[in-house]
Structure 1
């Protein structure tokens, strides 16, 4: 039997059945929403996307979705404290188009990074994390500077293991620990300085999506083309895409660049 949005809706209603939840379906948008009855906080699921994943991966796609939704709803319904959880606070990189407030209108704690990226802060909860908002800081009496200092310290404590690939005399390094903070390692200045010190060409870095940091030791024009294609491919495939533009790392600064075929990149104005 062919899977349809309505059939998927029925499956999700059954799998997410809970007397504390309220579910609804919007036919015009083909979306299914599950939320806490009391707080109205919840998640909206685009059904055609789930059907597409189901057609590719079968029941496993539904299992993963139900796990993610259940975990997200659990987190929404809990009170989280920062004091005593300092070691679990990390920075996360997002695109500048990413929301700056929660669904309930509370401002998320964030900081400008580059023209393409912004820094947010996450409280790691094991299987998932929660982005830190202004209300959480207010309740703890914490400043933005304090959360930034703690998160920056913690990102330096993570391992920076990478895989290396050499193409047309250019070296590419991939950090992909799958811990949720791969792209965040771009904020580890000591790591970037170490890579810069060991590079023989121009150092470029890219954060196409949350789960990878690409560092490239560019030796020739072909290197820029390869990096551009690689970054675009990762960006298109990423679960949480960030930016398809790589950066040149020079003098402890990150400059987004447009990479033109067969040419050295031009810095973005």
Structure 2
């Protein structure tokens, strides 16, 4: 079966159609927009990117985008109350190119993290979360520093279950609990520093998408190539991609590394 924008549009419309939703198609931009009639807010997706994923993942690609849209609309409709719900506030990692404001032009609360990543702040709503913006902060009468402090405290309380794999003499640890905050564990300095004590070679980390954190104990040049391939694979298939680059962890800081193949790195 050959997939094109018209077929993908029809498939998504069938899966997403509800009485309280408005669906529109921008032929020029090849984008589908799904809006909540309750809030007037919506989500716009590019069909080209979904079709590209469909060619490798088939129905899984459609399932993922339907889930992303449905959960996103639910989050927009949900009520947020920070006071007395402090345990629901967490940091989330996004790419440096991620939107700095909501579609209505309301700025998100975020901080620069590395040249490739930013830290946003989210309110957990169970099966999804909503990014905290200036409107929410003003409504609650909170200051930004309080949100940052609580979020960082909460991320340290999350469990850190690891799976280990050894390839060509290198050790790779994977944190993949799929709670929406796997990449956020990179902000847990106590955990990262404890892992550093285990490392006997060069320590590298990667957050290719929001649901995985990779920690590598690089023992030889081949290890860099393996890490690059792993990271690119996760980045290409993740629901919320962050960065395909890896980072060296030295003196408590993260430095992006460019791995050019055949063990050359910058």
Under TM normalisation by the shorter chain, which class is it? 0.7 to 0.9
Q: Which residue of 2 aligns with 1:234?
A: 234
Moved more, 48-57 or 240-249: 48-57
Q: Which residue of 1 aligns with 2:143?
A: 143
> Kindly tell me: are residues 9 and 145 of structure 1, through their superposed partners in 2, closer, same or farther at Cα, counting changes over 3 Å?
same
> Kindly tell me: are residues 199 and 95 of structure 1, through their superposed partners in 2, closer, same or farther at Cα, counting changes over 3 Å?
same
2:253 matches 1:253: yes
Task: Give the TM-score normalised by structure 1.
Answer: 0.87
Q: Which residue of 2 aligns with 1:44?
A: 44
Query: Aligned-pair distance for 1:106?
Result: 0.5
Cα distance in structure 2, aligned partners of 1:116 and 1:55: 28
How many residues align structurally? 266
Q: Give a deviation string over 1:176-214, Cα, whole Å, max 9, x none.
A: 111111111100101111111121112111111111111
Q: Give a deviation string over 1:139-187, Cα, whole Å, max 9, x none.
A: 1121221111111111111111111111222111111111111111100
Q: Which residue of 1 aligns with 2:25?
A: 25
Q: Which residue of 1 aligns with 2:90?
A: 90
State the secondary structure of the residue aligned to 2:115: coil
Contact 2:39 2:76 in 1 (8 A): no
Cα distance in structure 2, aligned partners of 1:233 and 1:64: 17
> Kindly tell me: are residues 202 and 51 of structure 1, through their superposed partners in 2, closer, same or farther at Cα, counting changes over 3 Å?
closer
Cα distance in structure 2, aligned partners of 1:47 and 1:225: 32
Cα distance in structure 2, aligned partners of 1:143 and 1:22: 35
Q: Which residue of 2 aligns with 1:123?
A: 123
Cα distance in structure 1, aligned partners of 2:80 and 2:110: 18
Moved more, 82-91 or 95-104: 82-91
Q: Compute the RMSD of aligned alpha carbons.
A: 2.6
Q: Which residue of 2 aligns with 1:34?
A: 34
Q: Which residue of 1 aligns with 2:179?
A: 179
Q: Which residue of 1 aligns with 2:157?
A: 157
State the secondary structure of the residue aligned to 1:239: coil
Q: Which has the larger radius of gyration?
A: 1
State the secondary structure of the residue aligned to 1:122: strand
> Kindly tell me: are residues 38 and 8 of structure 1, through their superposed partners in 2, closer, same or farther at Cα, counting changes over 3 Å?
same
Task: Give the TM-score normalised by structure 2.
Answer: 0.88
Instruction: Identify unmatched segments of 5+ residues in structure 2.
Output: none
> Kindly tell me: are residues 258 and 62 of structure 1, through their superposed partners in 2, closer, same or farther at Cα, counting changes over 3 Å?
closer
Q: Which residue of 1 aligns with 2:111?
A: 111
> Kindly tell me: are residues 139 and 58 of structure 1, through their superposed partners in 2, closer, same or farther at Cα, counting changes over 3 Å?
same
